[in-house]
Amino acid sequence: IKKPGQPISRGHKNYELMLNLQLGIRHSVGKHALKSRDLKASDFEPREKYWTRFPSEGSKHTPPHQSIDFKWKDYCSMVFRHLRELFGIDPAEYMLAICGSDALREFSSPGKSGSCFYLTQDDRYIIKTCKKAEVMVLIRMLPKYYEHVSKYKNTLVTKFFGVHCVKPIGGQKTRFIVMGNLFHSEYRIHKIFDLKGSSHGRSIDKPEGEIDETTTLKDLDLNFVFRLQQSWFLELMRQVDKDCEFLETEKIMDYSLLIGLHFRDDCYASDRGMSPTGRAGKCQDKSSPRGDEIFKSDTEDRHWIMEGKRPFIRLGANMPARAERLSRVECEAGNGPPRTPNGNNIGGGGGEVFDVILYFGIIDILQDYDISKKLEHAYKSLQVDPISISAVDPKLYSKRFRDFMHRVFVEDE
């Protein structure tokens, strides 16, 4: 399978940044490797951040390196050490994944924010550059975030492993967060949807020929309904409610449910006749194992939950479901369930696809309803129905998001 993104090797414009980031992470993780202690309230304070100088000739605490001198900042590092432990991350493995040679690949983001994304070679971690305001939001919510992820082991919200800043001497600051890749899996992800529950501008704006498995599709492109066994459905909806409640109290909006689909039968991966990749009917991929094996093999995650027809179901990371593709006839009939969540008429074969495996989580949770989002709302409200705009206040955002989830996921009768 083709790995997404471009390796950052010597000569790449962000090669120096990668080297600095690797030296910094090694320093940060190594610093806490041996000594652990309970967290104190002061560990969460915004001023709990330190600059470390990395002169190229090396210093008492830092190794010599080939890059130019730079400074490195860690935010609330003791808290993130505890978070990594809570999320079951082995420090040595974490360090190796990020700091090994040729470790990172840069992938171009479909987002409009201008952030850069780096994926580790083992696919487990994503490093996202972010704005100062986003770092502030994360640090502000850190005590509540810590509480939330400790309390809800099956939370869908992004797992954060660290927040840092690099500043080359005489250069610009680059802030970034390290988080879990939702699609870390030995199984191929055939389709990706980024869903907000809003409709204005929420469709992919690429010509069909450029859409492939790595393309992130949006709300209006969604032509599936996922049928879940009752107990999983209830558990999922309960967790979505809890997570949205948390985000709402933190005044967060603009987040998405990111869904990756693995079709057990690869024939369906290309969407039968409406293939975005133009590879309809390609069935050679026999890499998909029987469903039962999938759940046993994912032991590194901590979320083993319920027993169902299959041995174990893990919620919040991946989940088996029946996906139903909606036909034009059903969409147009207008009354009989199911309908596309967005009521859209996308066409295609219709009917049930076999089983799929869903990988999902709530991402991009560091945007508060700030002045720029309020202005965006005011401006777009002049042109379209305000409820269709992504930028709305956190309360409305959360309600609309949850309502939409109830249309995407339904109880299997």
Q: Please enumerate in sequence order all residues whose Cβ is within 8 A of that of 140, keeping only pairs 6 or more positions apart, or say none.
A: 46, 250
The answer to whether 54 and 25 have CB atoms below 8 angstroms apart is no
Does residue 219 belong to the site contacting Ca ion (CB under 5 A)?
Answer: no
Please state, as a whole number, how many other Cβ atoms lie within 10 Å of the Cβ of residue 199: 21
Residue number with CB closer to ligand ATP (126 or 313): 126
Cβ 381 to Ca ion shortest distance, Å: 20
DSSP structure class, residue 340:
-
Q: Helices 132-151 and 230-249, interaxial angle, to 10°? A: 140
The answer to whether 281 and 263 have CB atoms below 8 angstroms apart is no
Residue of 113, 203, 249, 275 that binds Ca ion (CB under 5 A): 113
- Answer with the entry of ligand ATP, Ca ion, none that 365 interacts with (C-beta below 5 to 8 A by kind): none
What's the number of CA atoms in the CB half-sphere (13 Å) around residue 253? Answer: 24
Which residue is closest to Ca ion by CB? 364
The C-alpha atoms of residue 327 and residue 338 are separated, in whole angstroms, by 10
Residue number with CB closer to ligand ATP (158 or 198): 158
Residue number with CB closer to Ca ion (96 or 133): 133
Cβ 130 to ligand ATP shortest distance, Å: 8
Per the structure block, which two tokens stand in for 222? 């969604």
Does residue 364 belong to the site contacting Ca ion (CB under 5 A)?
Answer: yes
- Answer with the entry of Ca ion, ligand ATP, none that 115 interacts with (C-beta below 5 to 8 A by kind): ligand ATP
Residue number with CB closer to ligand ATP (62 or 120): 120
Cβ 131 to Ca ion shortest distance, Å: 9
**Residue numbers of the site for ligand ATP (CB under 6 A)?**
109-113, 115, 117, 126, 158, 179-183, 192, 194, 216, 258, 363-364
Number of amino acids touching Ca ion (CB under 5 A): 2
Residue number with CB closer to Ca ion (250 or 364): 364
Q: Please enumerate in sequence order all residues whose Cβ is within 8 A of that of 26, keeping only pairs 6 or more positions apart, or say none.
A: 95, 99
Identify which of 155, 182, 149 has the alpha carbon closest to the alpha carbon of residue 80. Answer: 149
Residue number with CB closer to ligand ATP (59 or 108): 108
Q: In what order do the strands lie in the sheet with 70-75?
A: 6-7, 104-107, 117-120, 125-130, 174-180, 160-168, 70-75, 49-54
Cβ 233 to ligand ATP shortest distance, Å: 23
- What is the separation, in whole angstroms, between the first and last Cα of the chain? 36
Cβ 1 to ligand ATP shortest distance, Å: 16
Cβ 241 to ligand ATP shortest distance, Å: 21
Residue number with CB closer to ligand ATP (125 or 233): 125
Residues that bind Ca ion (CB under 5 A): 113, 364
